[in-house]
Chain A
């Protein structure tokens, strides 16, 4: 009796011995419920609220696009968007340029590669805020590095200014967010069958050509996945530019200032929506145009 019941349950209903696939679909749907519920509660709902706030006039009734129009017609706001995008793109590019050579070196298990691997992880293990403060102390106008430089290069014109500058922010961002690109790149590069590269070499491909036509295309999915993470994290960075950005205020800092400092929730919400759209558009463009890294792929 019980066995028969179980069997029936498993096969998805009485008499349907071939009903495995519909049953499988129901299971899939059931497994997705928690994830969907979570997303709805903590993602779509807040976004809806934010969007609602951004189109509600200050007096609380009706619908208005005023905040959006203000942003779109303000060169200053455009500047902020450009700065935020620029910092994120810059960080991503630098991270990829760091990650690829590093991965090529680390996979050869050179002496000390374990220590290097750990070092790559360091920024992830130390909290961003702590890192930022530490970096400030290191790079500040009166920080250790400048003390060192002033000793070593007595004729250099004044202290090197890193904090409160864009190159400084790029250094901070790279330190904090490149590990994501480096880790995925490393695992992608180490996942390449060495025989495949060997096959390219014996086929007559010089080292650079092997890299371009075999190594890079095969590592590309990993590089892309990690660089998307780096991009998004850099795009949304808040604490570091808040501390070390000075007058350079990317979107997250501006949103925080508007909403939390000036209590202008409408403008803050509108800026947040703009930020989300820009990020989405950037990622969409990136994934669209990076699916084939090398044209004609055999390079």
Chain B
């Protein structure tokens, strides 16, 4: 149907390393899908298979209904924004942006006009005569962006385009990419290991680990209903509690660890009673208990270990037992002192339980095969 980019069972190996392991992904027209995963999970490899600079060992790549698996890179009509910008150092900004038009045989006057228009879109008017080395990092990446959109390619691929920029600029460029996408409506795959970037920018996110896609879904789905322990752990810096499942009903499981009990939702990889289990707790679902806990909250005891002032809030490190510490952000209206014992309430909707395998592994591989 409307899939603009389709990866079908894409496999890529480097010797013994399987960088992409039967990758399946479909990106619709005008959609921005993020490949999110830790360093080395095969994100760049997947992109390089799409651009054609790597030949997959197996599977097909389909762009705009055309099987391009055997089509050379320069005939794929793809735009790429690189992490290290990859501008042509010997060309001026206008010539950099005009390069894709030049190789397409666009005449010089029109080329210049369109390059300047693209530069205007990324708010770089007036810098066309400079060389890349005469620009700041943020400006260079804008040129990279302009070069990728100037020929209106079918799809645009982003490989961690913001990771070489400082925090403030990163936020600004993120907005920029989002607004460009809204205006131009391009289809894109965006690679990042920054979950905030992924959550804020994407229509859908594909969470990857070790060359396998664990879950694909809208940011709210991925965040709110993670299907594997890896996905739950990777997003939202959750607190973690490992113990044994002591109770299992239709809508919840209860896990006990070091004498503390916590009720959690378990939808996939559900632990059986007596089995080891891990619970991931979203920090925003935890509060300091005052008064009684409601029916859908579990109560846990903790001691304040450390506090860190963050400006708009304060983060407290709380110890639940010798080996378990949680972090909790509180507005300044609530003050805790180090050494204080507190009661915590954890909302069940923010707690996810997963079975831990025999090997005390985090269970991701099981999740993966369930997915496939």
Residues of A within 8 A of B (CB): 193, 195-196, 198-207, 209-210, 213-214, 217-218, 297-298
Contacts and interface: CB of A to CB of B under 8 A. Distances in A.
Contacts of A218: 89-90
A199 B102 contact: no
A203 B89 contact: no
A201 B91 contact: no
6 A-B pairs with least C-beta separation: A195-B86, A203-B100, A201-B73, A199-B86, A205-B103, A204-B103
Interface stretch (B77-85, B226-234, B255-263, B306-314): B77-85
A204 B99 CA distance: 9
Contacts of B353: none
Interface in B43-67: 51-53
Contacts of B186: none
B53 A204 contact: no
Given A193-B84, A196-B89, A204-B75, 13 more contacts: A196-B86, A196-B87, A198-B53, A199-B82, A200-B99, A201-B51, A202-B78, A203-B99, A204-B103, A206-B72, A206-B74, A206-B103, A218-B89
Nearest to A209: B103
Nearest to A192: B89
Contacts of B147: 199, 203
A199 B146 CA distance: 13
Contact of B88 (A196, A202, A204, A209): A196
A297 B131 CA distance: 13
A297 B95 contact: yes
30 contacts: A193-B86, A195-B84, A196-B86, A198-B80, A198-B86, A199-B80, A199-B82, A199-B86, A199-B88, A200-B103, A201-B51, A201-B52, A202-B76, A202-B80, A203-B74, A203-B103, A203-B151, A204-B100, A204-B151, A206-B72, A206-B74, A213-B103, A214-B88, A218-B89, A297-B90, A298-B91, A298-B95, A298-B98, A298-B99, A298-B102
Nearest to A218: B90
A272 B73 CA distance: 55
Contacts of B88: 196, 199-200, 214, 298
B183 interface: no
Contact of A202 (B74, B89, B95): B74
A296 B198 CA distance: 41
Contacts of B95: 297-298
B107 interface: no
Nearest to A197: B86
B168 interface: no
Interface residues of B, number: 29
Contacts of A206: 72, 74, 103
Contacts of A205: 74, 99, 103
Question: Chain A's interface: helix, strand, loop or mixed, by majority?
Answer: helix
B104 interface: yes
Contacts, number: 73
A218 B100 CA distance: 18
A200 B95 CA distance: 12
A193 B86 CA distance: 7
A222 B109 CA distance: 33
A290 to B, nearest CB: 14
Contacts of B84: 193, 195
Contacts of A207: 74
B186 to A, nearest CB: 14
A199 B87 CA distance: 8
Contacts of B53: 198, 201
Contacts of B86: 193, 195-196, 198-199
A52 B156 CA distance: 70
Contacts of B77: 204
A153 B88 CA distance: 52
A204 B80 contact: no
Q: Which of B52, B88, B151 has the largest number of chain A CB atoms within 10 A? A: B88
Q: Which of A195, A202, A218, A298 has the largest number of chain B CB atoms within 10 A? A: A202
A198 B51 contact: yes
B90 A202 contact: no
Nearest to B157: A202
A210 B78 CA distance: 16
B91 A202 contact: no
A30 B98 CA distance: 48
A207 B87 CA distance: 18
Contacts of B80: 198-199, 202
A204 B102 CA distance: 9
A156 B192 CA distance: 67
Contacts of A298: 88, 91, 95, 98-99, 102
Contact of B51 (A196, A202, A213, A297): A202
A121 B102 CA distance: 40
Q: Which of B78, B79, B99 has the largest number of chain A CB atoms within 10 A? A: B99
A183 B296 CA distance: 72
